[in-house]
């Protein structure tokens, strides 16, 4: 039983001093009948909650079944809507690194040959090695003397700066540059790998000594050494221990790229412009390319191109995701030097897309037939071919021969169908059990007082019994169950074959009462049907009605079983206005907070809150009544004491 005293007040009551009565106990007994009403409201709320939980559990099962088996993007090993699921044959390839094939219903058995002459590819810009990054140190008239006689240690090699004499700052800096470069050339381990140059970005006011990488991947300036006569070479300290190696984290400014310039990428679907922010890195530039909008559309380049940076070759590449000879890619910019510094200028290699070209000799044929497609995946004569996009053809004239062997083998398809039927039967049994389960009136939701006196395992055992029957005779579940039974057993007109003819049927006789609406499989019959008439088996499950059919009944009669089931689940447990979603909602969807049962729970919560307030007021009224009695008793005791004093004084 709920105790309302905890919600009425946090005040400390001292009662019964005058009367000697146990006021708290008496008030609790007086409130007992009222609290029973509150407990009943909480129990009713719990029943509603259990009902929602039960429906959501079944909604999840429906969605899982749909996701696993009935969608075009369901996993390949469980997908029941693609034609490959109903193959009566398997195909093996003697070079699966180059090409694989999958038999579809109706594929001819026997040996075949595929000569791969060309792999389909996208258009691509392959960049040259990025220009060396620059490490700079500012030189001023005030510190130029500090370099006299000093040296640098580059990749572990000491390079003399040499003497600096006479002239202005620019002339002195020219001398330093010349001295260092001359000494770099004297060391074969450094010669040709880097050079030093004078850099004046503002026209001469500020002068830098700048190191430029030429050919080596990594050049590191580890220290600047002073000579015996100099006391200051700290102006080079900002380049010590820094590498000229280019990586994805290299800043664009270190590549000598100016800020605010634009590059434009053009592909068949349009052009996209990217504005350079030279404070960002190479990886940031790649991300900017991906996020760039194509023309005025909302499409981004991410869906159309692949961009990569190789730290091995230190180069960028951009390739269209679509393949085929119609694919092209070109690059332009507000300053062509930007493209050059990114390795995407004149020196870059630009290639157009290519088609896949093969010659197929099918089983029993004496000659090959040339096939050309824009993608590496295509279907010919009920065989799905897939060329490895990274495969390198060695003989482009005659083609690289791949031998295929197609043999009757429907076990894989049988296993897929069995797996679906098993999960379907489990779900059907679960729903049937719930809608036919009798309520156990001996067990009701526990009150707060009852729960506090029980252990966790006792609570679980009790609630398992109390939950029984919460979904009994649920009309929406019964309706979905009936629709699924009809979808499975109604004929598919365009298939020209029934489920029972391929070895799938419902249980009859006594078993029908134990397994209502469930399916059973005759594996031998199903296997034979797949191997002998796989195309018809495929149609009975996946047929799509002709677009010219407008009559609803006729459309249904020409729709495959699995497509019917998917539609039923969609209309019950997936669409926002699905019957079960409108009723119970589903976690993580918009229906979670906008459904009938959630509204009922909210209303019940409001009623419980109002009842709590009402009972708190009544409890306070009882305490006030006893307080008045205490006051009256105190007054009477005071009068009695006064009277006794008066009588005693005489």
Q: What's the rounded mean pLDDT across residues 454-468?
A: 95
Q: Where are the alpha helices (DSSP H) in 168-265?
A: 169-186
Q: How far apart are CA 589 and CA 467, in angstroms?
A: 25
Residue 228 has pLDDT above 50, yes or no: no
- Residue 262 · residue 276 · CB < 8 Å: yes
Question: Residue 548 is encoded by which pair of tokens?
Answer: 């010219």
Q: How far apart are CA 3 and CA 28, in angstroms?
A: 8
pLDDT value, residue 144:
57
The DSSP bridge partners found for residue 373 are 356
Question: Residue 18 is encoded by which pair of tokens?
Answer: 């005058």
DSSP single-letter state for residue 121: B
- Residue 389 · residue 119 · CB < 8 Å: yes
Residue 194 has pLDDT above 80, yes or no: no
- Residue 35 · residue 1 · CB < 8 Å: yes
| pLDDT tens digits for range 630-644 | 777 777 777 777 777
| pLDDT tens digits for range 280-318 | 999 999 999 999 999 999 999 999 999 999 988 889 999
Rounded percentage of the chain residues whose pLDDT exceeds 70:
83
Q: How far apart are CA 181 and CA 152, in angstroms?
A: 12
Rounded percentage of the chain residues whose pLDDT exceeds 90:
57
Return the SS3 of 101: strand
pLDDT value, residue 439:
93
Q: How confident is the model at residue 191 (pLDDT cuts 50, 70, 90)?
A: confident
Name which of 33, 221, 233 is nearest 150 in CA terms: 233
| pLDDT tens digits for range 316-327 | 999 999 999 999
Q: How confident is the model at residue 119 (pLDDT cuts 50, 70, 90)?
A: very high
- Domain extents for the chain? 89-120+355-409, 134-245, 253-351
Report the alpha-carbon angle 372-375-380, nearest 5.
55
- Residue 221 · residue 153 · CB < 8 Å: yes
Q: What's the rounded mean pLDDT across residues 401-408?
A: 96
pLDDT value, residue 227:
40
Q: What's the rounded mean pLDDT across residues 88-94?
A: 93
Sheet of strand 157-160, all strands in order from the earlier edge strand to the far edge: 157-160, 151-154, 220-225, 242-243
| pLDDT tens digits for range 462-494 | 999 999 999 999 999 999 999 999 999 899 999
Q: How confident is the model at residue 370 (pLDDT cuts 50, 70, 90)?
A: very high
Residue 455 has pLDDT above 70, yes or no: yes
pLDDT value, residue 133:
58
Residue 9 has pLDDT above 50, yes or no: no
Q: How confident is the model at residue 51 (pLDDT cuts 50, 70, 90)?
A: very high
CA distances from 430 to 80, 416, 517, 567 (A): 22, 21, 11, 20
CA distances from 168 to 151, 172, 173, 563 (A): 21, 6, 9, 85
How would you class 601 by CB atoms within 10 Å of its CB: exposed for 0-12, middle for 13-18, buried for 19 or more? middle
pLDDT value, residue 232:
42
Place of tokens 């008439």: 533
| pLDDT tens digits for range 229-277 | 333 444 455 555 555 677 898 888 878 788 888 999 999 999 999 999 9
CA dihedral 331, 336, 337, 340 (to 10 degrees): 30
Q: What's the rounded mean pLDDT across residues 412-431?
A: 95
pTM comes to 0.66
For the chain, what is the mean pLDDT? 86
| pLDDT tens digits for range 19-45 | 556 677 777 777 777 888 888 999 999
| pLDDT tens digits for range 585-642 | 999 999 999 999 999 999 999 999 998 898 888 887 887 777 777 777 777 777 777 7
- Residue 162 · residue 176 · CB < 8 Å: yes
Residue 578 has pLDDT above 70, yes or no: yes
């Amino acid at each position: 039983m709920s105790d309302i005293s905890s919600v009425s007040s946090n005040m400390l009551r001292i009662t019964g001093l005058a009367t000697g009565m146990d006021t708290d106990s008496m008030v609790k007994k007086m409130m007992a009948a009222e609290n029973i009403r509150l407990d009943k409201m909480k129990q009713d709320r719990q029943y509603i909650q259990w009902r929602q939980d039960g429906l959501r559990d079944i909604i999840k099962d429906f969605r899982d079944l749909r996701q696993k088996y009935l969608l075009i993007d369901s996993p390949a090993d469980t997908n029941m809507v693609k034609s490959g699921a109903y193959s009566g044959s398997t195909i093996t390839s003697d070079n699966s690194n180059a090409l694989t094939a999958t038999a579809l219903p109706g594929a001819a058995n026997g040996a075949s040959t595929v000569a791969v002459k060309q792999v389909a590819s996208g258009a691509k810009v392959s960049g040259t090695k990025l220009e060396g990054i620059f490490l700079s140190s500012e030189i001023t008239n005030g510190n130029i003397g500090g370099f006299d006689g000093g040296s640098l240690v580059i990749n572990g090699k000491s390079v003399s700066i040499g003497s600096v004499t006479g002239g202005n700052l620019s002339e002195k800096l020219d001398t330093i540059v010349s001295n260092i470069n001359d000494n770099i050339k004297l060391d074969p381990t450094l010669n040709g790998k880097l050079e030093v140059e004078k850099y004046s970005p503002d026209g001469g006011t500020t002068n830098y000594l700048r190191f430029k990488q030429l050919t080596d991947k990594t050049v590191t300036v580890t220290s600047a050494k002073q000579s015996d006569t100099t006391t200051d070479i700290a102006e080079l300290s900002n380049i010590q221990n820094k590498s000229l190696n280019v990586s994805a984290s290299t800043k664009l400014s270190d590549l000598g790229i100016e800020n605010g310039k634009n590059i434009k990428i053009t592909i068949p679907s349009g052009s996209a412009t990217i504005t350079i922010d030279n404070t960002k890195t190479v990886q940031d530039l790649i991300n900017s390319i991906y996020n760039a909008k194509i023309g005025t559309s909302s499409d981004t380049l991410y869906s159309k191109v692949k961009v990569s940076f190789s730290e091995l070759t230190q180069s960028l590449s951009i390739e269209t995701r679509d393949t085929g000879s119609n694919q092209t890619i070109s690059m332009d910019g507000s300053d062509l030097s930007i493209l050059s510094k990114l390795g995407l200028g004149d020196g870059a290699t630009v290639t157009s897309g290519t088609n896949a070209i093969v010659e197929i000799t099918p089983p029993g044929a004496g000659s090959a037939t040339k096939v050309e497609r824009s993608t590496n995946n295509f279907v010919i004569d009920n065989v799905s071919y897939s060329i490895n996009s990274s495969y390198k053809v060695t003989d482009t004239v005659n083609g690289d021969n791949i031998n295929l062997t197609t043999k009757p083998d429907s076990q894989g398809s049988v296993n897929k169908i069995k797996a679906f039927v098993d999960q379907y039967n489990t779900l059907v049994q679960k729903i049937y059990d719930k809608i036919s389960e009798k309520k156990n009136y001996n067990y009701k939701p526990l009150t707060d007082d009852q729960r506090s006196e029980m252990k966790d395992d006792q609570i679980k055992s009790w609630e398992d019994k109390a939950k029984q029957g919460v979904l009994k005779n649920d009309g929406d579940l019964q309706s979905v169950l009936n629709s699924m039974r009809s979808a499975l057993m109604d004929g598919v007109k365009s298939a020209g074959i029934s489920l029972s003819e391929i070895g799938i049927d419902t249980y009859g006789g006594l078993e029908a009462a134990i397994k209502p609406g469930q399916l059973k499989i005759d594996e031998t019959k199903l296997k034979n049907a797949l191997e002998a008439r796989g195309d018809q088996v495929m149609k009975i499950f996946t047929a799509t009605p002709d677009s010219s059919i407008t009559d609803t009944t006729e459309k249904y009669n020409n729709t495959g079983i699995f497509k019917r089931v998917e539609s039923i689940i969609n209309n019950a447990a997936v669409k926002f206005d699905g019957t079960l979603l409108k009723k119970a909602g589903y976690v993580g969807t918009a229906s979670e907070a906008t459904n009938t049962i959630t509204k009922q729970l909210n209303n019940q919560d409001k009623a419980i809150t109002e009842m709590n307030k009402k009972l708190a007021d009544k409890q306070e009224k009882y305490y006030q009544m006893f307080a008045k009695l205490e006051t009256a008793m105190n007054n009477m005791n005071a009068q009695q004491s006064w009277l006794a004093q008066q009588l005693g004084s005489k």
